[in-house]
Chain A
Amino acid sequence: MLELLKMCGFEGVEAASELPRIERAFNKLGITAGDIERGKQRLTRYYAIELKGIREILRLLVLNTVDLVLAREEGKSKIVYGFMIPGFSVFTSALVSKSKEIHAAHLCPQFQIVLGTIFDKMSPILEAAESKWLKSGTVAHCGNVKGLVGLLVQDLIPRPDLLITSGVLCDTAPKSVDLLHELYGIPGCCYDTCQDREISEYPAATKRIISMAAKSLRVVTQRIYDATGVEITDDMLQDILDARKGLATGLDKLQELMETSDPLPISANNQILWEYMGAFTFTIDRTPRAIDAVNTLCEELQARASQGLGEVEKGAPRIVAMLPSHHSDPRQDYVVGELGMAIASTDRVFTASEIATLEDPYERMIWDIMQGSLFHSTQRRIPLIMEGCKRLKADGLLNRYHVGCRTVTGDAFLIKEAVTRELDIPVLLQERDDFDARLYDHEQFKRSLEVFKTMLDKRVG
């Protein structure tokens, strides 16, 4: 175990002092000695653990997981979870900074990484959800929601005093939160807006839906107060936003490095690790350590780039991938690099750039989120993706779509058609569940990537 902890950035005194807690939490999660061995192998194979920045991020992920699993037994009197709410880590960070009695977290990135990518142990959790209301099969329920439901119905994590989700892009999560309330007595709430923007109405329509979302989010804040007794004030949110500015800056730098370095300085499957940092809960006094981790990684990757070191050969085809790396299976992005392609970016950063002067901090936060391409309708989203591909001079588009999500999946074919027609670059469509490694057929995926690579080589050559 200590060896694994070392790979995850725990050293010396801290490793020894955290070991009992980590063992307790891992026992609860059913992680066995065999799993630890598998975890070490996977970390070595798939992650750049030789980099201190990566180890630090893994350390934070493990600690976040352990804190959550042990929250009740370590005396937290109130627990609040957010699920699938972009930007919500600001609220959870405000809560934990205000009161030591509260544990608040955004689910389930920590479990996708720790249980999924490191130990390959998500399957029993997904199966637990499938035995309830998120059945397997052609209905294609989202693996992320299954993760949440599986963790809760198996009591692998403490039942919260409030479970919050957003219905901005998804109906499965709110329905599951409702069912968790009806069947397990877990109090839940949801914030929403209406995605009814028409292309001719921008940016006025954005203001309209932001205003609605902000009001809805304030209702959630009231529910948090009712559940915990802590009032989240606008000043508290601003303090957290200020404290996390360095994190956002560091993450932007990492993105820039990935976009501009040739060769790619690190395998793309590591990217999910740092992208999750933005979704994590940190008390205001722990935030600097998170920022340090990201900045350390930046420096290390910068050094690699300066030395011309990388994961794929210099001049390898540069591709844009839709959606982040697989959340619980590192093999899928790893093989892309193995075959000599560089994922320079994902579409996460292809945002609209509407400007608005907004006084309300809730509106400001949601405004930024709503600029993301996923939050736009097809007619706005497709041009954003094409502009992004053009800006990055992408040689191809790996259009993997998360089949558990109607929002993401609905545009997949039209994106391929438009990018092929307008940009004349190869597009590979890949259907998968971003949170479920069971649906992955390695040989089939690899073969399709090989064909894709041949097309890219022809173009680059």
Chain B
Amino acid sequence: MQEERVAAHLRDRPAQLREAQAQGTKIIGYFPGNYVPEELIIAAGALPLCLVEGGDTPPLEASVPVIPHIFCPFARTQIGERSLKRNPYYDIIDMFVAPVTCQHLKKVAEIWEYYGDMEIFKLGIPHQRDNDFELEYFTNRLRALRERLQTLTGNEITDEHITGSINLYNRMRELLRQISLMRRAPSPPLSALDFLKLNHASFYADPAFMVDILESVYGELKARPQAAETNAPRLLLIGPNISHGDYKILELIRETGGDIVIEEVYEGIRYYWHTIDVNGDPIESLAQGYLRDRVPPAFMRYSTKKRLDFALKLIADFNVSGVIWYELLGCETYDAESYFFAQKMEERNIPMLTLESDYGMAAIGQARIRIEAFIEMVRGGLD
């Protein structure tokens, strides 16, 4: 029921956005990774639109003349999608907020800035966050973003507006968290793929509509009788990126009998573990929430141990018996970190499988064999 509502909404969404744009509403694009507070965009009376497409090869081919192959397929997809002009979301943006995160997405933003056909705001993300001056830097960049959005939209962004939108997104995060936590049950009420699609929908959909959907999903799942426990191994998925459309690996895992019960993915999944404080200066609260009160991605400095600790907590809380490390080709920080995680998981007798993807189909056959063997091993069938 909710699936159909979401599908219908997303089907109509490009037209809705065009209509809103025609009436003067600005569309603000941004990259995933949970560093761009949509709250500010909504508070400006604009509409946020996350560019999170991936998993397909034509955009990669289209990106070949512009960006070399060592950039991750997600970054190259962004270049390719804009040049292909086949996806309406990539062609509707009035201003793009580029979080300066990893080297890959930083370069995509620079290339778009160089082309000059879209207004860009570069949002510097300090790669360290424990010192006050780093938080202050990010806070000031958010204040600059507020100014820029006001100029672009012609709308004043009041603290009340921001607090209102924080409340909206806090509710969205809270619902996603509650739904996700339901997967701690012996038989999770929804699959990783279903959860991910719901999560991805939140990047495109009207946020108020999305909150309504999530309320309904949560209510329905809560009311559903507990299903019988299966023998599917419970898995944690870790990686830099799962984009909208990059579902092959998830499908393979499901087909081969594995059950991903929780994810720790940087880009592509809306971060839902934190709640933004609504007391005090709202910009400072956003800075604190988006920079500090979260699990750091692998590109952040001194993040490795913190990330391991969080993964171990998820493993314990969700009763996980194996880890799938899914990275994109060319992602240097996650690739380096996978070595550390494999070692630490082995010390704890937690099997871990590392998979790489360039979005192509060529490696899928081999991936299937490796996943099958891994699932068998986690079940205890293989040494």
User: Is A192 in contact with B299, judged by CB distance below 8 angstroms?
Assistant: no
- CB proximity of B111 to chain A, nearest CB, Å: 6
User: Is A141 in contact with B128, judged by CB distance below 8 angstroms?
Assistant: no
Given A190-B301, A410-B71, A413-B67: A378 touches B113 (CB 8 Å cut-off): yes
- CB proximity of A380 to chain B, nearest CB, Å: 9
User: B321-364 CB contact bits vs A (8 Å, 1 = yes)?
Assistant: 00000000111110111111001000000000000100000000
User: Is A407 in contact with B67, judged by CB distance below 8 angstroms?
Assistant: no
- List the one stretch of B116-124, B216-224, B250-258 in contact with chain A: B116-124
User: Is A179 in contact with B340, judged by CB distance below 8 angstroms?
Assistant: yes
Please give the residue numbers on chain A whose beta carbons come within 8 Å of chain B beta carbons, in ascending order: 132-135, 138-142, 167, 170-172, 174-176, 178-179, 182-183, 190, 192, 194-199, 209, 212, 215-216, 219, 377-379, 382, 401, 403, 406-407, 409-414, 431
Q: Can you list 10 A-B contacts with CB-CB less than 8 angstroms, sorted by A residue number? A: A133-B335, A135-B339, A139-B330, A172-B333, A198-B120, A198-B121, A377-B114, A407-B107, A410-B107, A410-B111
Interface residues of B in 258-301 (CB under 8 A from A): 298-299, 301
Bound Cα distance A410, B335 (Å) = 19
Number of B residues whose C-beta is below 8 Å from A?
A: 52
Instruction: Give which listed residue, A142, A182, A406, contacts B304 with CB less than 8 A.
Output: A182
Flag whether B380 is at the interface (Cβ < 8 A): no
Q: Which residues of B have CB within 8 Å of A197?
A: 122
Flag whether B102 is at the interface (Cβ < 8 A): yes
User: Is A179 in contact with B336, judged by CB distance below 8 angstroms?
Assistant: yes
- CB proximity of B378 to chain A, nearest CB, Å: 24
User: Is B335 in contact with A378, judged by CB distance below 8 angstroms?
Assistant: no
User: Is A212 in contact with B69, judged by CB distance below 8 angstroms?
Assistant: no
Interface residues of B in 117-148 (CB under 8 A from A): 120-128, 131, 133-134, 137, 141
* Closest chain B residue to A198, Cβ basis: B122
* Closest chain A residue to B340, Cβ basis: A179
User: Is A377 in contact with B113, judged by CB distance below 8 angstroms?
Assistant: yes
Bound Cα distance A132, B123 (Å) = 34
User: Is B110 in contact with A377, judged by CB distance below 8 angstroms?
Assistant: yes
Q: Which residues of B have CB within 8 Å of A377?
A: 110, 113-114
Flag whether B158 is at the interface (Cβ < 8 A): no
Given A176-B336, A215-B131: A409 touches B70 (CB 8 Å cut-off): yes
Flag whether B13 is at the interface (Cβ < 8 A): no
- CB proximity of B292 to chain A, nearest CB, Å: 15
Flag whether B225 is at the interface (Cβ < 8 A): no
- CB proximity of A250 to chain B, nearest CB, Å: 34
User: Is B68 in contact with A172, judged by CB distance below 8 angstroms?
Assistant: no
Bound Cα distance A190, B303 (Å) = 12
Flag whether B226 is at the interface (Cβ < 8 A): no
Instruction: Give which listed residue, B102, B122, B126, B303, contacts A212 with CB less than 8 A.
Output: B126
* Closest chain B residue to A410, Cβ basis: B107
User: Is A406 in contact with B70, judged by CB distance below 8 angstroms?
Assistant: yes
- CB proximity of B335 to chain A, nearest CB, Å: 5
Q: Which residues of A have CB within 8 Å of B71?
A: 406, 409-410
Instruction: Give which listed residue, B68, B125, B128, B332, contacts A216 with CB less than 8 A.
Output: B128
- CB proximity of B63 to chain A, nearest CB, Å: 10
Flag whether B100 is at the interface (Cβ < 8 A): yes
* Closest chain B residue to A170, Cβ basis: B103
Q: Which residues of B have CB within 8 Å of A382?
A: 114
User: Is B299 in contact with A183, judged by CB distance below 8 angstroms?
Assistant: no
User: Is A378 in contact with B110, judged by CB distance below 8 angstroms?
Assistant: yes
* Closest chain A residue to B128, Cβ basis: A192
Q: Which residues of A have CB within 8 Å of B114?
A: 377-379, 382, 414
User: Is B128 in contact with A190, judged by CB distance below 8 angstroms?
Assistant: yes
Top-6 shortest CB links A-B: A194-B124, A196-B124, A406-B103, A133-B339, A410-B107, A196-B122
Bound Cα distance A219, B301 (Å) = 14
In this complex, the member of B120, B131, B137 whose beta carbon has the largest number of chain A beta carbons within 10 angstroms is B137
In this complex, the member of B107, B298, B329, B336 whose beta carbon has the largest number of chain A beta carbons within 10 angstroms is B336
User: Is B107 in contact with A178, judged by CB distance below 8 angstroms?
Assistant: no
Q: Given known contacts A139-B356, A172-B336, A178-B301, what 20 new A-B pairs fall within 8 Å (CB)?
A: A135-B339, A139-B329, A139-B332, A140-B332, A171-B299, A175-B333, A182-B340, A190-B127, A190-B301, A192-B126, A192-B127, A192-B128, A198-B122, A209-B124, A216-B133, A378-B114, A379-B116, A382-B114, A406-B332, A407-B103
Bound Cα distance A212, B125 (Å) = 12
- CB proximity of A282 to chain B, nearest CB, Å: 29
Bound Cα distance A379, B114 (Å) = 5
Q: Which residues of B have CB within 8 Å of A178?
A: 301-304
Given A167-B127, A175-B333, A196-B122: A138 touches B69 (CB 8 Å cut-off): yes
Q: Which residues of A have CB within 8 Å of B82?
A: none
In this complex, the member of A199, A410, A414 whose beta carbon has the largest number of chain B beta carbons within 10 angstroms is A410
Flag whether B305 is at the interface (Cβ < 8 A): yes
Flag whether B24 is at the interface (Cβ < 8 A): no
Flag whether B381 is at the interface (Cβ < 8 A): no
Flag whether B368 is at the interface (Cβ < 8 A): no
Flag whether B365 is at the interface (Cβ < 8 A): no
User: Is B100 in contact with A195, judged by CB distance below 8 angstroms?
Assistant: yes
- CB proximity of B6 to chain A, nearest CB, Å: 34
Bound Cα distance A410, B68 (Å) = 7
Q: Which residues of A have CB within 8 Å of B121?
A: 198
Q: Which residues of B have CB within 8 Å of A133?
A: 335-340
Q: Which residues of A have CB within 8 Å of B171?
A: none
Flag whether B161 is at the interface (Cβ < 8 A): no
User: B2-16 CB contact bits vs A (8 Å, 1 = yes)?
Assistant: 000000000000000
User: Is A196 in contact with B141, judged by CB distance below 8 angstroms?
Assistant: yes
Q: Which residues of B have CB within 8 Å of A192?
A: 126-128, 301
- CB proximity of B150 to chain A, nearest CB, Å: 17
Given A196-B141, A198-B113, A379-B114: A406 touches B336 (CB 8 Å cut-off): no
Flag whether B197 is at the interface (Cβ < 8 A): no
Q: Which residues of B have CB within 8 Å of A379?
A: 110, 113-114, 116
- CB proximity of B354 to chain A, nearest CB, Å: 10
User: Is A212 in contact with B336, judged by CB distance below 8 angstroms?
Assistant: no
Q: Which residues of B have CB within 8 Å of A199?
A: 113
* Closest chain A residue to B104, Cβ basis: A406
User: Is A195 in contact with B68, judged by CB distance below 8 angstroms?
Assistant: no
User: Is B335 in contact with A135, judged by CB distance below 8 angstroms?
Assistant: yes
* Closest chain B residue to A382, Cβ basis: B114
User: Is B68 in contact with A431, judged by CB distance below 8 angstroms?
Assistant: yes
Q: Which residues of A have CB within 8 Å of B301?
A: 167, 174, 178, 190, 192
- CB proximity of B379 to chain A, nearest CB, Å: 28
Flag whether B184 is at the interface (Cβ < 8 A): no
Given A379-B114, A401-B68: A171 touches B133 (CB 8 Å cut-off): no
User: Is A410 in contact with B110, judged by CB distance below 8 angstroms?
Assistant: yes
Given A212-B137, A413-B65: A171 touches B332 (CB 8 Å cut-off): yes
* Closest chain B residue to A407, Cβ basis: B103
Q: Which residues of B have CB within 8 Å of A209?
A: 124
Given A134-B336, A378-B114, A413-B68: A195 touches B107 (CB 8 Å cut-off): no
In this complex, the member of B128, B299, B303, B331 whose beta carbon has the largest number of chain A beta carbons within 10 angstroms is B128
Flag whether B66 is at the interface (Cβ < 8 A): yes
Q: Which residues of B have CB within 8 Å of A215?
A: 131, 133
